[in-house]
């Protein structure tokens, strides 16, 4: 196996060119690396964008004009064949933070003039040396908090700037043993099978123990937060989430892959569910909502040890009739 070296090299060169380009010249870089019919999927309010010029004008140029001196700080870099199309396509994944000086408004959020982080995870499909599809998911509410705003009521878990893997092995620039990636993908699939049932007959904690390490770390998005150990994860997220929703659809992913001890997936959306109990401190609406999610995992032994999660909560709540972003744009920073 090549270890996806050619595909990784495309993305490495793309990032190098994009990250050092002058603000306003992003379209030139994207036009060089994106296919002409490129599809870009991003969190609310960006949604689906087509073509390199539109992606540059709508997302990258405004972001880089706002977070000046933008620096990419990667924690995971990997590539793999996509299980969802019988391993026929190759995707390269980058996860970490985009860091800059928050100097001008972005999405109506007032700047601070201070250092700021935008959590991100990006899946890029590479074909014949070109990027043909992108899923770029990012935690806008986390940036809101850094700007002194409170987009959500107090969350069930902890709000943190999220670190990379405990093992510091996430940057896989060199090929990894294929059997390691196969084992990671098997662990992820076993977890998905359990997660999609919600009726295993076991206690939630015992169900989680089938596929998770006892000292698991779940790095959730702003509005839910991070939690540690099976017992606290069940108490602070999984239990409340299951109690809050019904009619969960089957899981649908556009990409699911793994390399080495890491793997992940994304959907558009991953699933839908109907809130019938309070969620994130807000009342139930009884309206079905979409969950656009990226999950990145680290495996230890035969179980999952860490999980970084990106959920488009702005999109979910907009479907419920609550415009979090619009509301925050009208609130002065204290």
Residues 191 and 126 reside in one and the same domain: no
The rounded distance, in Å, linking the Cα atoms of 62 and 322 is: 25
Task: Tell me whether residue 325 is in a domain.
Answer: yes
Range of the domain at 76: 5-146
Residues 282 and 210 reside in one and the same domain: yes
For residue 291, the cross-strand partners are 271
- Supply angle C-alpha 95, 100, 102, rounded to 5: 125
Residues 85 and 219 reside in one and the same domain: no
| Sheet of strand 34-42: strand arrangement | 47-50, 34-42, 130-138, 115-127, 90-102, 67-81
Per the document, the length of the chain is: 334
- Supply angle C-alpha 246, 219, 259, rounded to 5: 100
- Which of these three, 102, 124, 146, is where a domain ends? 146
- Determine phi and psi for 290, rounding to 5 degrees: -90, 145
For residue 130, the cross-strand partners are 127
Task: Tell me whether residue 64 is in a domain.
Answer: yes
Residues 185 and 321 reside in one and the same domain: yes
Residues 209 and 106 reside in one and the same domain: no
Residues 12 and 97 reside in one and the same domain: yes
The rounded distance, in Å, linking the Cα atoms of 325 and 141 is: 8
- How do 303-311 and 212-219 pair as beta strands? parallel
The rounded distance, in Å, linking the Cα atoms of 258 and 226 is: 23
Q: Which residue has the tokens 């985009």?
A: 98
- Which of these three, 146, 170, 194, is where a domain ends? 146
Residues 115 and 217 reside in one and the same domain: no
Cβ neighbours of 200 (radius 10 Å): 14
Q: Which residue has the tokens 């709540």?
A: 317
- Which of these three, 146, 168, 198, is where a domain ends? 146
> What CATH number is attached to the domain comprising 15?
3.10.450.50
Q: HSE-up of 263 (CA within 13 Å, CB side)?
A: 30
Residues 202 and 277 reside in one and the same domain: yes
Residuewise pLDDT in 10s, the chain (334 residues): 468 999 999 999 999 999 999 999 999 999 999 999 999 999 999 999 999 999 999 999 999 999 999 999 999 999 999 999 999 999 999 999 999 999 999 999 999 999 999 999 999 999 999 999 999 999 999 999 999 999 998 877 888 889 999 999 999 999 999 999 999 999 999 999 887 565 667 899 999 999 999 999 999 999 999 999 999 999 999 999 989 998 889 889 999 999 999 999 999 999 999 999 888 888 889 999 999 999 999 999 999 999 999 999 999 999 999 999 998 876 555 5
pLDDT at 333: 55
Task: Tell me whether residue 151 is in a domain.
Answer: no
The rounded distance, in Å, linking the Cα atoms of 80 and 65 is: 33
Q: Which residue has the tokens 């800059």?
A: 100
Q: Got the DSSP string for 180-219?
A: HHHHHHHHHHHHHHHHTTS--SS-HHHHHHTTEEEEEEEE
Decide: 265 and 123 in contact? Cβ < 8 Å. Answer: no
Number of domains within the chain: 2
pLDDT at 259: 98
Residues 27 and 131 reside in one and the same domain: yes
Decide: 73 and 93 in contact? Cβ < 8 Å. Answer: no
Distances (CA, A) of 42 to 60, 109, 134, 138, 258: 12, 18, 8, 8, 22
Task: Tell me whether residue 253 is in a domain.
Answer: yes
Residues 116 and 36 reside in one and the same domain: yes
Locate the DSSP E strands across 82-142.
90-102, 115-127, 130-138
Task: Tell me whether residue 334 is in a domain.
Answer: no
Q: Measure CA 228 to chain center.
A: 19
Task: Tell me whether residue 214 is in a domain.
Answer: yes
- Determine phi and psi for 324, rounding to 5 degrees: -60, -45
Residues 185 and 323 reside in one and the same domain: yes
Question: In this structure, what is the dihedral angle of CA atoms 178, 182, 187, 193, given to the nearest 10 degrees?
Answer: 160
Task: Tell me whether residue 158 is in a domain.
Answer: no
Maximum CA extent, the chain: 57
pLDDT at 200: 67
Task: Tell me whether residue 167 is in a domain.
Answer: no
Residues 209 and 78 reside in one and the same domain: no
The rounded distance, in Å, linking the Cα atoms of 163 and 31 is: 32
pLDDT at 199: 66
């Amino acid at each position: 196996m090549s270890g996806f070296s050619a595909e990784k090299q495309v993305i490495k060169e793309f990032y190098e060119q994009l990250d050092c380009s002058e603000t306003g010249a992003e379209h030139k870089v994207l036009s060089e690396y994106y296919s002409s019919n490129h599809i870009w999927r991003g969190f609310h309010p960006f949604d689906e964008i087509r073509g390199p010029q539109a992606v540059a004008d709508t997302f990258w140029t405004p972001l880089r004009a706002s977070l000046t001196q933008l620096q990419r700080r990667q924690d995971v870099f990997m590539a793999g064949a996509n299980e969802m199309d019988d391993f026929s396509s190759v995707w390269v994944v980058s996860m970490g933070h985009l860091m800059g000086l928050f100097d001008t408004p972005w999405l109506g959020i007032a700047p601070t003039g201070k250092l700021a982080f935008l959590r991100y995870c990006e899946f890029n499909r590479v074909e014949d040396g070109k990027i043909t599809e992108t899923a770029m998911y990012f935690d806008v509410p986390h940036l809101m908090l850094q700007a002194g705003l409170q987009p959500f009521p107090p969350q069930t878990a902890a709000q943190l700037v999220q670190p990379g893997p405990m093992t510091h092995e996430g940057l896989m620039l060199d090929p990894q043993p294929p059997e390691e990636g196969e084992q990671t993908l098997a662990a992820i699939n076993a977890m998905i099978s359990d997660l999609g049932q919600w009726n295993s007959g076991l206690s939630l904690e015992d169900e989680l123990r089938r596929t998770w390490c006892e000292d698991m770390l779940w790095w959730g998005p702003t509005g839910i937060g991070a939690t540690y150990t099976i017992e606290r994860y069940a108490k602070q997220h999984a239990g409340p989430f299951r109690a809050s929703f019904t009619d969960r659809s089957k899981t649908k992913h556009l990409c699911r892959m793994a390399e080495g001890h890491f793997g992940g997936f994304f959907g558009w959306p991953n699933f839908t569910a109907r809130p019938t109990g309070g969620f994130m401190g807000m009342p139930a609406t009884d309206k079905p909502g979409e969950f656009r999610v990226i999950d990145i995992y680290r495996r230890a032994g035969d179980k999952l040890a860490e999980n970084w999660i990106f959920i488009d909560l702005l999109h979910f709540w907009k479907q419920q009739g609550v415009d979090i972003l619009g509301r925050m744009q009208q609130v002065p920073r204290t």
